[in-house]
Amino acid sequence: AIELPAKEYKADELLKLVQGKGERKLRETLDKAEKYRLHYQAKEARQKELDELASRIEKSLTESK
């Protein structure tokens, strides 16, 4: 929902105001999505590193027997 100050608006004035608020909201949403995407990629990379480390440890344990 877009909140506007209480006032009588002309149609073009209202349209510009709503578009501006809508564009700002869209930018905020896209920024959040990008931050989430970057966070998810970092999380996946860390998990891959942990999986590789676990595999190397497991391999070294089986080789030392």
**2 within 8 A of 21, measured Cβ to Cβ:** yes
Using CA atoms, how far apart are residues 40 and 31, in angstroms rounded to an integer?
14
Element (H, E) at 54: helix 11-63
Q: Which pLDDT belongs to residue 52?
A: 97
pTM reported for the whole predicted model: 0.57
Task: Summarize pLDDT for 15-24 with one digit per residue, the tens.
Answer: 888 888 888 8
Give the per-residue pLDDT at 59: 94
pLDDT at residue 5 in the model: 67
Half-sphere exposure of 47 (CA within 13 A, CB side): 6
